[in-house]
Structure 1
Amino acid sequence: MKRFYYIFILIMISGSLSAQSIDDALRFSKHNYSGTARSLSMGGAFGALGGDFSSLSINPAGIAVYRSSEFTFTPSLELVKSSNSGETNDKYSFTIGNIGYVASMVPRLAPEKGVQNFNFAIGYNRVANFNREGFVMTMESPSSRLDYWSQKAQGRNPDLDPGDPNGLYEFEERLAYDVYLLSPDESLRYFTPFYENDVMDQMQYIDEKGYIGEYIIAGGFNVSHKFYLGASIGIQDVYYKSNTTYIETIYGLDGNIIPNESALEEFTFREFLKTSGAGVNFKIGAILRPVKNLRLGIAIHTPTYYNLDERYESFMSSQFTPDMNNQLEFPEDGNAYHDKYSEFVARSNFDLETPFRAILSGAYLLGKRAIISVDYEMIDYSNNEFDDNDYRDLNQRISESYSSTHNLRIGGELRVNPNFSLRGGYAKIGDPYKGSIDESYEAYSGGLGFKQNNFFFDLGYQFREYDEDYVFYPESDIVTLNNKNHQVRMTFGFRF
């Protein structure tokens, strides 16, 4: 998967103090249906099967398939290995993938035809995980991020109050000015401390944390073991935090760390972004059993209506050689190191509406020995929308950047004996971008299940690999971060 990150560019285009971007819309609308180990190992293809708590996040009609009450608990271990230019970062995270309770109410004198049982469920499925660390670099670049900031600063007065439209953007260009990385002349033309022959190494460290967890209340009923209907309310808890550290180290033509011409050795730019909030959605679904061994499912998910709080702040520092042999003016103390935090923290509250999605499913039971299941999901990411008139331009970019996506999930299960099962799965997740950007990926999974009396234990593993392409600033080189995601889940369950 290749993905261009335009967060930096979009913030600068919008001129806003907040950091909302088209990436926010995509990040909070992409889901991975793998709450339980059984679902993970079968590729998340549970829309027509039901009888598993993960299915309630896919097709809530799955609750009506239960014939007994059940409690499940799923701890999860995830490893993301991110590598670039020989540097590898490992990010481990231990999470709760699922915890759920299903109550099945079977009438004492159930009729042969008609409603056979009413079921109710409450619980939690984790539907997205943002934990990751990465390091990307490009060597001996002929351009600098300071060149971009210098262009943005032209004609702007550094003496105006922060936030003034004619002043410097306080979270970036203003910080660069304060640490002597930008210097204006009398005409407010801004210069950098570089000379023509300077080149630089550029590095960025990314540290991301967070999740989307869905709290579910669901209900459904079974009609004659032929038709299953269910509905759910999902309350999604969102937490996302990112810290990025960008460093440029300046080199002369001979490759020495201390440059021959410019007195600047290096500068560092750090950004912090934290987003948290909650959203609500409604899902309704049905499963039809036209013949004994075939199940067909359909589910509709309304948009998730989020209300989110965001906080953004930045920091910048610079390091010069002690002789100060350059065109900038420095304070009388002659200090070669300078640092500056942004004096203001940008805080914002916004509403985000994710797209509708539809899921069509089919499953075939090969007697009591095997199951084959397929889910097909459709979602149009161009329908993501920030619900405020202030975001009209951003919503237009969302419409222009994203497209409809088609996701395919396939799973199989083989019952070796009444107590032991083997499972496998595959998922093909489509590309949400228009044009040349490609964010599609494939996932492979497998697992096993064991049950004895009223207790069962499931173990699942999933692997996926994808590439992400980063652009540090306009006209910079593209650098690629390779990610390998390994996930293991264990579900402990009790039926009663």
Structure 2
Amino acid sequence: MKQYIYAAALLVANVALYAQGDLNTAADAVRYSLDNTTGTARFRGLGGAMGAVGGDLSAMSVNPAGSAIFNYNTGTATGAVYNVKNKANYYGTHTTDKDSSVDMAQVGGVFVFNNANENAFLQKFTLGFNYENSNSFENSLYMAGTSPNSIDQYFLGYANGRGGRPAVSLNTLNTGNYNYMTFAEQQAYLGYNAYVFNPTTDGSNTPYVTNMPQTGNYAQQSRIQNTGYNGKIALNFATQFKQSVYLGINLNIHVTNYVNNISFYEDTNNLSSGGMQELQFDNRRYTYGGGFSLDLGGIVKITEQLRAGLAWKSPTWLRLQDEITQSLYAYCPECDASTSNGNIILDPGMTYILDDYTVRSPGKWTGSLAYIFGKSGLVSVDYALQDFSNTRFSSSRYGYINDELSQTLDMAGELRVGTEWRVKNFSFRGGYRFAQSPYKNGTTVGDLQGYSGGVGISFGDSKLDLAYSWYRRDADVSLLQQGTVDAARVQSTNNNIVLSYTIDL
């Protein structure tokens, strides 16, 4: 007889598993490859188009030569308010959810060492450091609708084997110790003991077949709450040669902290037929780790007004680890005679720490042009290219996922345009950003379009800058992110307010 499991207290177990090839998907790799335009208020107000402008702590993240534009020792700190509104469409049912957060978005400084000899070849060099929240994962989604497909395919996919992995044996499901199972075996174990599927008895080609009612559609809903960030610490060195050439390098340390909470609910719409009535599957995934990358860049003054820049960002290597907590609830009065009310609760009460793995995000080239109108203002354009098909997981266990990344991802361009105009002590800014989809189909994650504006005031040795940015992007989001085929179409609209304080020393 299938087991009835209930754990009243939380037990934490550290178990090294080889399950990441089953847990991770191509979408997980893409998550760590996408960056947002973050940083100082001036940078955001200009739409991030500062590759040839420089003179800003966040600008050196685009082109590290930009720190050699500084004339004085400078420090900047930035706070931000993030707001995201998600509109989801799942089989014709529309839902809306919002999330807001406040964060220290940036802090950094640069030290300028000038050569007293104005005719020297090496005019100056700079040492800088900058921390930025390069991507915020703060997000809240609610999706609901009626689907022709049940969650049974999630559990059956693991039980019957996928991605070259064999099916889970019936002996493992009946007598195996959950604590020492692989991730795939655990998913099959939960589904089997919640009566989602049964062993095959009709001689079909698969070991297990669904036990879910096949009488109609399934009412489903999912609440997804994400928190966390991608942070980057840049250690910068830049030089100015003569009056027209600037070169720079960044050594970047990356920090990732991501928490994904999913509560998926399915009503089988089966009251008249009996059998399985409801399922609720709760998942908590905590991903953390760090990595490194390298930036190289140069800026040339073609004329006193016209500047050109070129920068290369190396691939980013992130070493990550996952902690997983799961529970499954089912209501099936006819499934298990040992339950008095039909409630089946599978709660192992354990947090599993899985083995670590590496994600390599693609490198990026950025070309920039800026025209400086003396002290009156500027117009700047950046264009970046990134080949997302080079995104990879490190291990051979991810062979089929890496093949999917190569086949579905593509080269993507990003255009950023910005302008700034000064009136006495005030500066007024505007920006535009367009980023192509990283996917060949252009829909799994759609194109991004954004606008920004800002204002700054100078107090002599210090400045206060305020910026507002808006951008929108559509994407397909699965109600249960690991391995399900059904996805809602989600339109995400982001509104950010950023305030920076800069002091020249």
TM-score of the superposed pair, with normalisation by structure 1: 0.88
Counterpart for residue 488 of structure 2: 479
Given the alignment, which residue of 202, 211, 214 partners 1:192? 211
Counterpart for residue 15 of structure 2: none
How far apart, in 2, do the equivalents of 1:403 and 1:291 lie?
A: 36
Counterpart for residue 134 of structure 1: 141
State the AA in 2 paired with 1:292.
E
Counterpart for residue 99 of structure 2: 91
> In the alignment, is the contact (CA less than 8 A) between 2:412 and 2:437 conserved in 1?
yes
Counterpart for residue 118 of structure 2: 111
State the AA in 2 paired with 1:40.
R
Query: Structure 1 unaligned runs (5+)?
Result: 1-13, 253-258
> In the alignment, is the contact (CA less than 8 A) between 2:283 and 2:324 conserved in 1?
yes
1:134-167 per-residue CA deviation (whole Å, 9 max, x = no partner) reads 011112x333112553476467412252689999
Query: Structure 2 unaligned runs (5+)?
Result: 1-17, 161-166
Given the alignment, which residue of 416, 427, 434 partners 2:423? 416
State the AA in 2 paired with 1:92.
S
Counterpart for residue 445 of structure 1: 452
Q: Secondary structure at the match of 1:407?
A: strand
Q: Percent identity?
A: 25
Q: Secondary structure at the match of 2:407?
A: helix
How far apart, in 1, do the equivalents of 2:176 and 2:187 lie?
A: 14
State the AA in 1 paired with 2:467.
G
> In the alignment, is the contact (CA less than 8 A) between 2:135 and 2:229 conserved in 1?
yes
How far apart, in 2, do the equivalents of 1:229 and 1:185 lie?
A: 67
Q: Secondary structure at the match of 1:390?
A: helix
Distance apart, 1:69 and its partner CA: 0.6
Distance apart, 1:387 and its partner CA: 2.2
- Tell me whether 1:204 sits opposite 2:207 in the alignment: no
1:47-106 per-residue CA deviation (whole Å, 9 max, x = no partner) reads 100000001211000011001010100011100111334532221111111101111112
State the AA in 2 paired with 1:96.
M
How far apart, in 2, do the equivalents of 1:113 and 1:166 lie?
A: 68
What is the count of residue pairs matched by the alignment?
A: 467
Counterpart for residue 30 of structure 1: 34
> In the alignment, is the contact (CA less than 8 A) between 1:17 and 1:346 conserved in 2?
no
Given the alignment, which residue of 53, 66, 74 partners 2:78? 74
Counterpart for residue 311 of structure 1: 323
Counterpart for residue 434 of structure 2: 428
- Tell me whether 1:337 sits opposite 2:343 in the alignment: yes
Counterpart for residue 248 of structure 2: 230
Distance apart, 1:494 and its partner CA: 0.4
Distance apart, 1:363 and its partner CA: 0.3
Counterpart for residue 144 of structure 1: 150
How far apart, in 2, do the equivalents of 1:27 and 1:472 lie?
A: 16
TM-score of the superposed pair, with normalisation by structure 2: 0.86
1:12-39 per-residue CA deviation (whole Å, 9 max, x = no partner) reads xx97565222122211122224210000
1:352-409 per-residue CA deviation (whole Å, 9 max, x = no partner) reads 2222211100100123212100111111111112222332332222111111111110
Given the alignment, which residue of 111, 125, 129 partners 2:132? 125
Q: Secondary structure at the match of 1:23?
A: helix
| Inter-CA distance 163–357: structure 2 relative to 1 (3 Å threshold) | farther
Instruction: Please tell me the root mean square deviation across aligned C-alpha atoms, in Å.
Output: 2.6
How far apart, in 2, do the equivalents of 1:250 and 1:125 lie?
A: 46
Counterpart for residue 181 of structure 1: 196
How far apart, in 2, do the equivalents of 1:283 and 1:240 lie?
A: 25
Counterpart for residue 276 of structure 1: 288
- Tell me whether 1:51 sits opposite 2:55 in the alignment: yes
State the AA in 1 paired with 2:135.
A
